[in-house]
Chain A
Amino acid sequence: MNPLIPLLVAIPLAGAFLTMILGRFITGIPRYMALATLLVLTFISFWLLVEGGTASSVYTPGGWEPVDGVPIGIYLIHDGFSALVLCIISVIGLLSVTYSISYMARYTSENYFYSLFCLMIAGMNGVVLSGDIFNIFVFLEISAISSYALVAFGVEKNELEATLKYQVLGAVASFMVLFAIGFIYWSAKTLNIADIRTAFSEGGYGINYILIQILLLTGFGLKAAIIPFHAWLPDAHSSAPSPISAMLSGVLIKAVGIYVIIRLFFNMFEITEGMAILITTLGALSMAVGVLLAIGQWDLKRLLAYHSISQMGYVIMSAGIGMILMARGLRSEIAALAITGGIFHMLNHAAFKGLLFLNAGAIEYAAGTRDLRQMGGLAKSMPFTSSTSLVASLSISGIPPFNGFFSKLIIIVAAVMGRFYFLAALAAVVSIITLASFMKFQRYAFYNKEQGKIGKEIREVPVPMLLSMITLAAICLLLSLLVLPGIRETVLAPATEILMDQAKYSSQITGM
């Protein structure tokens, strides 16, 4: 019972509502309160990552101990996998808040912005920590509703249309999840993930079991924007203010979409080969289609949003390959390699996609346009933005020595070793198309001749924005150190272990 675990949810909640009250009376304080909240959260999440190590700890609010091995009450679980996601949530959140100090100066209602931001962080932390499926739904909705409001923060035509699409599809997804939770409670008579697993492992649920899996995959797939359900993502992520785009694309779709899919399908359901093949197909499909849709875009943020779909495809596909290998029950070391690659790519994507959206925001801030055809020659006037975006572009397209290269390499190696030659080739081809697409971005934005359409002098953006961009670029380089043996075992291996060892996850809750 580590008392720091509930604080990860309680502190951003308190920060959000204190911001609302104090922001009314003291102007200018909300930004510093949000900054302080996120600093504390970053400290706590890294402390838990370092101190926790391979051991996972369980916390029960209210102190409800299990009775005869049957868990009652709500469980908060902090293990290797959730520790990593918590760290990326707080780091990207902290850098986005730093960035917003200058960027949001042109918007009004500062206290609402930072309050909703903290609320979104609280929801995501809750989703990641929760070990109870209904609790996941509640926190999912907290983060979703605050992100609907944040997408619409500009209240112009485009923002409102984007948030409408996002809300309608998000609400459909939420109700599918709620219906699936109803089915689960009906079949298993419990809501705890570990206990549901014990109940389901006795078998005999037939069609209900498949229906639950399909409903949950559709619901969280809509939240994660894997390909047949991706319609809302490009609009929402391109219309939001840039720090929020970085949060949505860098963290939110992972914390409430990918993380929950991986957690539920590895730790709650028995892995079946059919479902594993379905997940792998969806991942490969979003990987390929996302990048093909991205290549024709001229709106910078929309291009980045489509790349998010494609990169999330890598994560889903590698998790799916791991699931197929585990379902066949052979070569578990290759399955572990594939899952490690997926988790590593998830961390890397948070860093470089966050950085790319912050760069896009910086360009929009300085030049006032998002259309690639109207930019040009920005490398001279914005040297820091240009160099950090070069780092991010090389990283997302998988050029060594940046982090994206290593995670893609691990995924492709795992696919080849698992004899999925087609998927490995597809991943390599998608990576090349990504490179082409980002060469287009670099060329049109920074190195082309000046188009002269902007019609004002372009200056480098203010210091807080530069600070967060440079920090993220450094993180992009530093994350590639995770591939080194020694560091990999302490950081990535516990996450893979908890996903592979299904009995361990349930035993730490039921105590059996």
Chain B
Amino acid sequence: MKGMTVIVKKTTQLIAGIIFLYGIYIILHGHLTPGGGFAGGVILAGSFILLILAFGSDFMHLLKEEKGSTIYENLAILAFLLLALTGLLAGGKIFFANWLPHGTPGELVSAGFMPLYNIFVGIEVAASILTIFLALVIFKEEILK
């Protein structure tokens, strides 16, 4: 896949990092404000997709990236399941039990497991949307060959 013009490349360079940080902000404040793991994950994936579209990438590189993002996706969902299972093992044998201290509502570190769930959902969503995008691009590249 070819990249785009120098204007697009330069603008993307400037804003991709900010988009990435914004995604992390949305994920971390998921238990306090609207948004959360899914919305933040989509924004994270958006910054990656923007970079790939602007700068282009060759076929082998795309395949490698898809492998990496698949592994991140699987690891994130396994971590999520593990967090849910800790409730079964530790807190009174209840699946998905929120047994961490809840803290004061409204603070960044509060609500027990919720921020952790949000972080893993964010990684999962970002990785899986990137995987979907890469898989479709790889299909297209295969047709062109």
Contact = CB atoms under 8 A, between A and B. Distances in A.
Is A–B contact present in the complex under a CB 8 A cutoff? yes
Interface of A: 1, 3, 6-7, 10, 13-14, 17-18, 20-21, 24, 59-63
Contacts of B70: 20
B84 A10 contact: yes
B94 A62 contact: yes
B143 to A, nearest CB: 14
Interface string B28-57: 000000000000000000000000000000
Most buried by A among B71, B75, B96, B97: B96
Interface string B69-95: 011001101100100110110001111
A21 B75 contact: yes
Given A20-B70, A24-B71, A10 B95 contact: yes
Given A14-B81, A17-B78, A18-B78, A1 B71 contact: no
B110 interface: no
Nearest to A62: B96
A14 B78 contact: yes
Contact of B88 (A3, A17, A20, A60): A3
Contact of A3 (B74, B75, B78, B95): B95
A63 B75 contact: no
Contacts of B84: 10, 61
A62 B81 CA distance: 13
Contacts of B93: 1, 3
A117 to B, nearest CB: 16
Given A24-B71, A63-B97, A17 B92 contact: no
Interface residues of B, number: 19
B81 A13 contact: yes
B94 A63 contact: yes
B98 interface: yes
A20 B74 contact: yes
Nearest to B82: A14
B35 to A, nearest CB: 21
A60 B88 CA distance: 12
Contacts of A60: 94
A24 B69 CA distance: 13
Nearest to A6: B95
Given A21-B75, A61-B96, A63-B94, 5 more contacts: A10-B84, A13-B77, A18-B74, A21-B74, A21-B78
Contact of B97 (A7, A10, A14, A62): A62
A8 to B, nearest CB: 11
B139 to A, nearest CB: 11
Contacts of A14: 78, 81
A20 to B, nearest CB: 5
A62 B96 CA distance: 5
A17 B98 contact: no
A3 B96 CA distance: 11
Nearest to A18: B78
A24 B66 CA distance: 13
17 contacts: A6-B95, A10-B84, A13-B77, A14-B78, A14-B81, A17-B77, A21-B74, A21-B75, A24-B67, A24-B71, A59-B95, A60-B94, A61-B94, A61-B95, A62-B96, A63-B94, A63-B97
Contacts of B81: 10, 13-14, 17
A351 to B, nearest CB: 31
A60 B78 CA distance: 21
A7 B89 CA distance: 12
B94 A1 contact: yes
B92 A63 contact: yes
Contacts of A18: 74, 78
Closest 6 CB pairs of A and B: A6-B95, A63-B94, A61-B96, A62-B96, A17-B74, A61-B95
A61 B71 CA distance: 28
Nearest to A5: B95
Contacts of A17: 74, 77-78, 81
B71 A21 contact: yes
Nearest to B94: A63
A375 B81 CA distance: 49
Contacts of B95: 3, 6, 10, 59, 61-62
Nearest to A115: B74
Contacts of B78: 14, 17-18, 21
A36 B9 CA distance: 50
A33 B87 CA distance: 25
A378 B37 CA distance: 57
Given A17-B78, A63-B97, A6 B88 contact: yes
Contacts of A6: 88, 95-96
B128 to A, nearest CB: 12
B72 to A, nearest CB: 10
Nearest to A25: B71
Contacts of A13: 77, 81
A1 B88 CA distance: 11
